[in-house]
């Protein structure tokens, strides 16, 4: 069974601060996705990383896939209250339709 551990589980910061959340596994994934979920809504895909060592940027968000394709990180620069939400990572194995989700990091950015 492939497991994804996300840390921290909860994070509360002030507007303007930087933060990094982590997604770790002992398994290798063919790709890894990051989602953001807002209260009362379903997860929305932010990015997919495929290549080991890959770095993708989405405005103030930077995503990195580990060299061994077992872990990933999400860094947010100058966090804003609109960044508040549950950040989920999900790994795809051999059968790419089957995503293994972490339990998420609940981020609160206070104004």
Partner 1 sequence: DAGVIQSPRHEVTEMGQEVTLRCKPISGHNSLFWYRQTMMRGLELLIYFNNNVPIDDSGMPEDRFSAKMPNASFSTLKIQPSEPRDSAVYFCASSFGDRETQYFGPGTRLLVL
Of 2, 20, 48, 73, the one binding partner 1 by CB under 8 A: 48
User: Distance between CA 94 and CA 111 in Å, rounded?
Assistant: 42
Site size toward partner 1 (CB under 8 A) is: 19
Q: Which is nearer to partner 1, 95 or 111 (CB)?
A: 95
Q: Which is nearer to partner 1, 40 or 111 (CB)?
A: 40
Cβ(23)–Cβ(72) below 8 Å: yes
Q: List residues binding partner 1 (CB under 8 A).
A: 40-45, 48, 88, 90, 92, 95-99, 101-104
């Amino acid at each position: 069974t492939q497991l994804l551990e996300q840390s921290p589980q909860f994070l509360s910061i002030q507007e303007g601060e930087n933060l990094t959340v982590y997604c770790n596994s002992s398994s290798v994934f063919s790709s890894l996705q990051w989602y953001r979920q807002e209260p009362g809504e379903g997860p929305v895909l932010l990015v997919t990383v495929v290549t080991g060592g890959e770095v993708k940027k989405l405005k103030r968000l930077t995503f990195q896939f580990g060299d061994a394709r077992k872990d990933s990180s999400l860094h947010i620069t100058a966090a804003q209250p609109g960044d508040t939400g549950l950040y989920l990572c999900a790994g795809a194995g051999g059968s790419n339709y089957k995503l293994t989700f972490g339990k998420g990091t609940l981020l609160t950015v206070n104004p």
